[in-house]
Chain A
Amino acid sequence: MVYQNPDGVRIGLEVHVQLNKLNTKLFCGCSTKYHDSEPNTHVCPVCLGLPGSLPVINEKAVEYAMKIGLALNCSIVEQTQFHRKNYYYPDLPKGFQTTQYDFPIAGEGKIVIEGEDGERVIGITRAHIEEDPGRLQHIGSIDKSKGTLINYNRSGMTLIEIVSEPDMRSPKEARRYLDKLRSILDYLDVFDGDLEGAMRVDANVSVFMGERVEVKNISSFKGAERALLYEIMRQKNHIRRGGEITLETRHFDEARGVTLSMRTKETENDYRYFPEPDLVPLRVADRVPEILKTLPELPDAKRERFVKEYGIIDMHARAAVTDQDIADLFETVTLGENVSPNNAAVWVIDILKGELNYRDVIIRVTKTEKREIESQNQCKWPLYKSMTLKLYRKKYVDTVPEIESGNIIKTIQLVKEKKITEQSGVEIIRTMLDNGGKPQDIVKEKGLLKVADDIVATAVEEAIAENPEAVTDFHAGKEKSMNFLVGKVMQKTKGRADAREAREKLITKLNE
């Protein structure tokens, strides 16, 4: 069913990715680890813009830019050059930003997202390299400010600007684009997306084929969705009242959830681009084959492979690949004896991931044991025969427990061998996440071993004997009474019986 896009919404996104995993800034050797430092302590004559200073390009930054471009299916340009974008703002120490203009390092590409009506291809116009300005802090509120404080620690950090085509038709599609882009960038390991300022979004949105409005100052993906929802509604209302949408830049007020006009003199700009005389051109297209080799298997390819190779359903595959560590863990767990891919899918992707989400933590692989591939015929994935994972709360205050992939496998095996119920298995996972420990020990501590069949049989008989009304109701066709009886059996066995089994036994007994 094709999405009609009733309001003719067109959304394009410009995302700035800060390469905070590089050791140094784009044009100088200052360390990039400034986030918890005192102001103006990660600064040198170059990134401070002192007179006489000169830029020198960080080779790794260019490689990362190419990596990103290639992962987005972009063409890499033959010859690229930096340009000066001239404008005045206090966070810009040189009075111009060194960026790329008509020869961006990466040209047209694409990202595939889950659109409103199925898979949708979002075009990428270009990706280029530029430097970050410093940070401003207003003294007092923004409208009654007594002054501005400037910290240049961030000045000179490498930014990759990724510009999309206006192919998104709703805030939901925009959100999906951002999630997908973030996922790909995480796979490439070119940045830490959780650090402050790592990913910044500017949105361009129009309705009914009208003029587009640029919305700036979006600092989160949720914020992007809200900003777009508001702006689309604002534009529709404006048109409905007989107004016209003109090309303009608006500022997103996160707190109030609205966009505000920014029409001031400062926003009228003639950037007077010209090639940066202090930097010579780059010809790096010949490095593409080498860089392609360093690309990991990206989410889309991994998802296809999971479905094909493991026969799991697409929904599981999609959920697995949004997080590379979950995907790797899934694969490693499939190596467990007696563990089928579907078992691994349910336990890792449904259960474990669900428990992680509930606790608002993520896992990161900290140690791995590589798998030796003995013969030519063996598939090169999964890479690891075992792995250790640590839990991290989103803001990187880490909690203590480590989880071994082997422990997850053991849990699954215990369930499959019918030594414990599924529910007990879930409890083991929860306990490991909260307190650590090994499955066998937890089973002992909590007495989780499944009760022997005759104990269940006894509990079934007792439940039937002690609850004649429920039995009568059951025979009368009332479903609820079965649940009641199952509950009684579980009570008697202190929850250790397998609920499904108990139900079956009751039905058999009652029908005798």
Chain B
Amino acid sequence: MRAWTDISNIKQIIADSSAEEITAAYIEAIGKSKINGFISVWDEAIKVAREIDSNGHQGPLAGVPIAIKDNISTKGLSTTCSSKVLQGYVPPYDAHVIERLKEAGAVILGKTNMDEFAMGTSTESSCYGPTLNPWDLDRVPGGSSGGSAAVVAAGEAPVSLGSDTGGSVRCPAAYCGVVGLKPSYGCISRYGLISYANSLEQIGPLATNVADIARIMDVVAGYDHRDSTSINRENTYSDALKDDVKGMTIGVPDEYFGEGIHKDVEKSVWDAISKFEDMGATYEKVSMPHTKYALASYYIIAMSEASSNLARFDGTRFGHRVDGEDWHVMASKTRAEGFGIEVKRRVLLGTYALSAGYHDKYYLKALKVRTLVKQDFDKALANVDVLMAPTMPAPAFKIGEKIEDPLSLYLSDVNTVPMNLAGVPSISVPCGFAGGMPVGLHIIGKHFDENAIIKAAYSFEQNTDHHNRRPPEVA
């Protein structure tokens, strides 16, 4: 398993054996899984792998298996957002990123578990039950793309796609000791991504190493005319895979080392920054004064958009339906039964924040604070190449520890939501351990400067061995 966790390795093995054998091996591993990472395994996967074998392994990802978060539409393969309300929904179309992956020859293994409708930091709100962290089965894998991160960490898929609205790729990457990237807003087409908060979210890749992240980006990123917020920009992400950070300037915001930070997390991150100094970079402290307000601003905006994005789930055309004496009753009962409690809370709060009388106090105010947060990034990044901080203030917590107190769960997102508000790219790479659980280093870049953060992350990886550690469960 360990030997297969790198795309170039996999391609080598495929050349020596076959795509079908690799896919079969992964499917077998999934069958023995203890972590509840996959919701569904695609019954066409072997067939697709076989076809790739017969067409001579065409495409940059020919035969490479990939796991997909269950909020990304896959034609003919159920897509549920880990919600009861979407049980049985089979999309009649592929998301843009899925089209690109298929064109590149990748093999979709199946759909991964997530917090319901991407609303969460622990994957505990899934209607399928939580995914378990491969490093410690009593702990959460992070969220909302917990399944996508855990299956990569457990060796059940070499790479995966998740989505990141407030940290949902980077948090589970940090908790599971893998690499996760949230690109700049507009970088990857959202066509086919089931919306939670559309002005904040992006699809992002997860992998065991930075090179694979770049390779996936080369395939899925780029302009799509079907997404009006998609940016038209050509870029080769694998060009950034260079081990060279001489002269790179790093900004370290104090505000990201706040009160709740675990001391081992703090130590690992500062050790990492020291390492960058050894490699020829320099750092300085920067100030981002509105950081503490970012969380409230993020949640108000996300919940407001969510309350509208989730309005279509009423049982009329797809998914779960509960009958009622009239349509409004049917819709109300369907949604009451189909949505989990956290989703309902957020939809209610979002509706409230947009409603007459509260719109200016909450929604409009949050948008103004968003401007201030964005300005913090503009100013901080004006004088440095990248920013660095801990991805999460503490390592993965125990399952059930925070689920009863939504606010405490929200507070774990404090280091990741600002990047979604500002639309800047950021990546989490493993940089150490705290209490035996992985710690993530957060590297943040300017708009559309993915290459700077990929290069920094790659260089760090080349000069450390955190990425070689595997959970004890996985060989």
Which residues of A are interface residues toward B (Cβ below 8 A)? 45, 48-57, 84, 86, 88, 90, 93-96, 148, 150, 265-266, 270, 272, 274, 277-280
Q: Which residue of A lies closest to B359 (CB)?
A: A272
Q: Which residue of B lies closest to A264 (CB)?
A: B328
Distance A13 CA – B430 CA, assembled complex (angstroms): 64
A95 touches B355 (CB 8 A): no
B-chain residues with CB within 8 Å of residue A278 when the two chains form the complex: 195, 198, 227-229
B-chain residues with CB within 8 Å of residue A266 when the two chains form the complex: 328
Chain-A contact segment, one of B128-136, B311-319, B415-423: B311-319
B-chain residues with CB within 8 Å of residue A96 when the two chains form the complex: 308, 311
B304 touches A52 (CB 8 A): no
Distance A150 CA – B89 CA, assembled complex (angstroms): 19
A88 touches B331 (CB 8 A): yes
A-chain residues with CB within 8 Å of residue B89 when the two chains form the complex: 51
Distance A480 CA – B91 CA, assembled complex (angstroms): 85
What is the 8 Å Cβ interface bit string for chain B, positions 327-371, against chain A (1 contact, 0 not)? 110010000000000000000000100111001000100000000
Distance A88 CA – B312 CA, assembled complex (angstroms): 9
Distance A150 CA – B91 CA, assembled complex (angstroms): 20
Distance A45 CA – B191 CA, assembled complex (angstroms): 10
A-B contact pairs, 24 of them (CB 8 A): A45-B91, A49-B312, A49-B317, A50-B318, A51-B79, A51-B86, A52-B95, A53-B191, A53-B192, A54-B227, A57-B228, A90-B316, A93-B317, A95-B312, A95-B314, A150-B316, A270-B355, A272-B351, A272-B354, A272-B355, A277-B199, A278-B195, A278-B228, A280-B229
Distance A95 CA – B332 CA, assembled complex (angstroms): 13
A274 touches B304 (CB 8 A): yes
A-chain residues with CB within 8 Å of residue B72 when the two chains form the complex: 52
A502 to chain B minimum Cβ distance, whole angstroms, is: 74
B402 to chain A minimum Cβ distance, whole angstroms, is: 28
A-chain residues with CB within 8 Å of residue B93 when the two chains form the complex: 45, 50
Q: Which residue of A lies closest to B192 (CB)?
A: A52
Q: Which of B89-104 contact A (CB under 8 A)?
A: 89, 91-93, 95
Distance A278 CA – B355 CA, assembled complex (angstroms): 20
Question: What are the 10 closest A-B residue pairs judged by CB atoms, nearest first?
Answer: A95-B311, A272-B354, A277-B199, A51-B194, A277-B198, A52-B192, A52-B73, A52-B194, A95-B312, A270-B356
B6 to chain A minimum Cβ distance, whole angstroms, is: 31
B328 touches A88 (CB 8 A): yes
B-chain residues with CB within 8 Å of residue A94 when the two chains form the complex: 311-312
B308 touches A274 (CB 8 A): yes
Distance A266 CA – B95 CA, assembled complex (angstroms): 35
Q: B182 in the interface, Cβ–Cβ < 8 Å?
A: no
B328 touches A54 (CB 8 A): no
B194 to chain A minimum Cβ distance, whole angstroms, is: 4
B-chain residues with CB within 8 Å of residue A272 when the two chains form the complex: 307-308, 351, 354-356, 359
Of the residues A45, A86, A88, A279, contact of B228 by C-beta under 8 Å: A279
Task: Classify the interface of chain B: helix, strand, loop or mixed.
Answer: loop
Q: Which of B79, B225, B310, B356 has the most CB of A within 10 A?
A: B356
B190 touches A54 (CB 8 A): yes
Q: Which residue of B lies closest to A29 (CB)?
A: B226
B315 to chain A minimum Cβ distance, whole angstroms, is: 10
B-chain residues with CB within 8 Å of residue A55 when the two chains form the complex: 228
Q: B305 in the interface, Cβ–Cβ < 8 Å?
A: yes
Task: Classify the interface of chain A: helix, strand, loop or mixed.
Answer: loop
B-chain residues with CB within 8 Å of residue A54 when the two chains form the complex: 190-191, 226-228
Q: B193 in the interface, Cβ–Cβ < 8 Å?
A: yes
Q: Which of A266, A274, A279 has the most CB of B within 10 A?
A: A274
Distance A95 CA – B190 CA, assembled complex (angstroms): 20
Distance A88 CA – B72 CA, assembled complex (angstroms): 25
Distance A111 CA – B318 CA, assembled complex (angstroms): 46
Distance A150 CA – B314 CA, assembled complex (angstroms): 14
17 further interface pairs, Cβ-Cβ under 8 Å (given A45-B92, A51-B194): A48-B317, A50-B92, A54-B191, A54-B227, A56-B225, A84-B308, A86-B354, A88-B328, A90-B316, A94-B311, A94-B312, A96-B308, A96-B311, A266-B328, A272-B359, A274-B359, A278-B229
Q: Which residue of A lies closest to B305 (CB)?
A: A277
Of the residues B79, B308, B317, contact of A86 by C-beta under 8 Å: B308
Q: Which of B203-230 contact A (CB under 8 A)?
A: 225-229
Distance A95 CA – B359 CA, assembled complex (angstroms): 19
A266 to chain B minimum Cβ distance, whole angstroms, is: 7
Distance A52 CA – B81 CA, assembled complex (angstroms): 11
Tell me whether A52 and B193 are in contact in the complex, defined as CB-CB below 8 angstroms, given that A274-B354, A277-B198, A277-B199 are known contacts: yes
B-chain residues with CB within 8 Å of residue A84 when the two chains form the complex: 308
B449 to chain A minimum Cβ distance, whole angstroms, is: 22
A274 touches B363 (CB 8 A): yes
A149 to chain B minimum Cβ distance, whole angstroms, is: 11
Distance A86 CA – B359 CA, assembled complex (angstroms): 14
Distance A50 CA – B89 CA, assembled complex (angstroms): 10
Distance A274 CA – B306 CA, assembled complex (angstroms): 12
Distance A366 CA – B313 CA, assembled complex (angstroms): 49
What is the 8 Å Cβ interface bit string for chain B, positions 184-202, against chain A (1 contact, 0 not)? 0000001111110011000
A88 touches B226 (CB 8 A): no
Distance A277 CA – B318 CA, assembled complex (angstroms): 24
Q: Which residue of B lies closest to A27 (CB)?
A: B228
A-chain residues with CB within 8 Å of residue B351 when the two chains form the complex: 272
B226 touches A56 (CB 8 A): yes
B-chain residues with CB within 8 Å of residue A51 when the two chains form the complex: 73, 79, 81, 86, 89, 91, 194-195, 312-313
Q: Which of B191, B225, B229, B312 has the most CB of A within 10 A?
A: B312
A25 to chain B minimum Cβ distance, whole angstroms, is: 14
A56 touches B91 (CB 8 A): no
Distance A90 CA – B326 CA, assembled complex (angstroms): 11
Q: Which residue of B lies closest to A94 (CB)?
A: B312
A-chain residues with CB within 8 Å of residue B81 when the two chains form the complex: 51
A-chain residues with CB within 8 Å of residue B318 when the two chains form the complex: 50
A-chain residues with CB within 8 Å of residue B190 when the two chains form the complex: 52, 54
B461 to chain A minimum Cβ distance, whole angstroms, is: 33
B354 touches A52 (CB 8 A): no
A-chain residues with CB within 8 Å of residue B199 when the two chains form the complex: 277
A-chain residues with CB within 8 Å of residue B95 when the two chains form the complex: 52
A-chain residues with CB within 8 Å of residue B308 when the two chains form the complex: 84, 86, 95-96, 272, 274
Q: Which of B79, B304, B311 has the most CB of A within 10 A?
A: B311
A142 to chain B minimum Cβ distance, whole angstroms, is: 12
A408 to chain B minimum Cβ distance, whole angstroms, is: 51
B-chain residues with CB within 8 Å of residue A90 when the two chains form the complex: 316, 327
A30 to chain B minimum Cβ distance, whole angstroms, is: 14
B311 touches A56 (CB 8 A): no
Distance A278 CA – B310 CA, assembled complex (angstroms): 14
B456 to chain A minimum Cβ distance, whole angstroms, is: 30
Distance A319 CA – B469 CA, assembled complex (angstroms): 87
Q: Which residue of B lies closest to A145 (CB)?
A: B326
Q: Which residue of A lies closest to B356 (CB)?
A: A270
B-chain residues with CB within 8 Å of residue A45 when the two chains form the complex: 91-93
